Structure 1
Amino acid sequence: MKIELTRFRVRENTQSIVDEWMQFLTANAAAVRETLEPEQMYVETIFSETIDGIDYLYWYSVQGEDGSGVEQSEHWLDEKHMQYWRTCIDDTFPAEDLTPRVTMIPERVEAAMKPLATIGGTS
């Protein structure tokens, strides 16, 4: 299981598009859920922050080891999601991965976060 928290800088003057993007994901929650299983994405949360007038988005995720990347997806939602990404995320500013220090997950929750193929020993 991979647990990540990564900070991305938002391009200047795209905050209204970021807001549209987040509303798009919220409004299409059922389609978002369709994309999570192929990625073995168990939890994905997007946070925002403004520091000294610069906007950032943070992606927190708990993901299985063998999930496919969003970049390989042909799902319509992921294609739109990546269009927003290319418009809003400043690729000239390196992403920053924060370092996990302690992970606390009850065993029953961790056991439930397994790819469907491995539940019940059918891997």
Structure 2
Amino acid sequence: MIIELTRFRVRAGAEERAAAWMDFLRANPEAFRETLEPEQMYVETILSEVRDGITYLYWYSVQGEDRASVQESQHWLDKKHLEFWRDVIDPDFPPQELTPQIHMTPERVEAAMKPLNGPQDSTPHPGRDT
């Protein structure tokens, strides 16, 4: 399992575009959920912060080891995501990786966060295997 928390700076003047992207994601949960399994993205949370008049976005994720890259995805939402990235994220500000110190989840939650159809996925999961 890979846990990431990364801070990205929004380009000056692109704050409204960033807010529009968040609104779009909130309005289209079924579309972004379609992208989660191929990427082995078990948890993805986007947070925002304004510091000294500069907007930052934080991506928190819990992912599988053999995840597919968003850059390789053919899903229309991932293509739109990469377009958003090019338009909104400031390329002159290196991503700021925060280092996880400890991760706590119940064993049953971690067991549920395994790739579908993998060797560790031999038992049915209620609500998922219908």
Q: Normalising by structure 2, what TM-score?
A: 0.91
1:62 CA drift (Å) = 0.2
Query: Which runs of structure 2 are paired with 1:37-48 in the superposition (5 Å)?
Result: 37-48=37-48
In structure 2, the partner of 1:20 is 20
Q: What is the Cα-based RMSD across aligned positions, in Å?
A: 0.9
Q: Give the 3-state SS of the residue equivalent to 1:17 in structure 2.
A: helix
| Unaligned stretches of 5+ residues in structure 1 | none
Q: Structure 2: which 5+ residue stretches go unaligned?
A: 124-130
More helix by percentage = 1
**Cα distance per residue 1:67-106 (max 9 Å; x no partner):** 1011111100111111111110001110010010111010
1:100 counterpart letter in structure 2: P
* 1:120 equivalent in structure 2: 122
Q: Give the counterpart letter for 2:122 in structure 1.
A: G
> What is the distance in 1 between the residues matched to 2:24 and 2:78?
11
1:88 is matched with 88
Deviations 1:19-46 (A, max 9, x none): 1101111111101010001000000000
- Counterpart CA distance in 1 for 2:26 and 2:69 is 20
Write the distance in 1 (CA, Å) between the matches of 2:28 and 2:56.
23
Corresponding pairs, count? 121
In structure 2, the residue corresponding to 1:30 is in which secondary structure?
helix
Query: Which amino acid counterpart does residue 91 of structure 1 have in structure 2?
Result: P
Detail structure 1 runs of 4+ shifted over 3 Å in the superposition.
none
When normalised by structure 1's length, the TM-score is 0.96
Instruction: Give the Cα separation in 2 of the matches to 1:23 and 1:72.
Output: 24
- Please list, as runs of the form range in 1=range in 2, the aligned pairs for 1:41-120 lying within 5 A after superposition: 41-118=41-118, 119-120=121-122
Look up the equivalent residue of 2:115 and give its one-letter code: P
